[in-house]
Amino acid sequence: FLSRRSPSFRRSIRKAQRDADSAGLEFEHFQGEQDCAAWYQRIQAIEANTWKAREGKSIFVNPRYAACYGDAMSRAASDGRLRAVIAVLSGLDVGYIVGGVIENTYRGFQIGYADDFHTFSIGNLCQMAKIEALCEEGITEYDLGMAIDYKTRWGERMLNLYRVIIYRR
């Protein structure tokens, strides 16, 4: 994966990994036997400390969306499809990435990190931890979801999706 990224991107990831290792950053992986509700609470607690929450742009600000994501995580966990990583520094949850697997494809749901730890590149490190774990599982596709600028560094191709509505009279 990294061999297909730009030299500057590879350097920045490697530096972030060295800095994180020196600081003692660890990654906990959701393996399916943990309590999904407890993981979701941890994710929401991290999200509450993100720039998105501070600016009112977090999906978890809306109780309906928060409930929807909680339900999606629960359903995906119930049959072993949920994949999540929580970054932990000195016993404090500081970042997360969560998504689900269908066949050989991982679909990212959400990613976030606490603002106070932005210098550690927590979002990038969560992405790398998730990619490494997915590769170990043999997952070959990573659907990043909707197009956002930062995702172009992570993705290799963009799919154009079209919505077709069919109705009968």
pLDDT tens for the chain, residues 1 to 169: 777 778 888 899 899 999 999 999 999 998 765 688 888 999 999 999 999 999 988 888 888 888 888 888 888 898 889 999 999 999 999 999 999 998 998 888 888 999 888 888 999 999 999 999 998 999 988 877 666 666 666 666 666 666 777 877 7
The helix (run of H) or strand (run of E) holding residue 142 is: strand 141-143
Q: Pull the structure tokens for residue 132.
A: 């490494």
CA dist 45 and 38 (Å) reads: 11
CA dist 5 and 150 (Å) reads: 13
* Structural contact between residues 39 and 30, judged by C-beta atoms closer than 8 angstroms: yes
CA dist 125 and 128 (Å) reads: 5
The DSSP annotation for 83-106 comes to EEEEEEETTEEEEEEEEEEETTEE
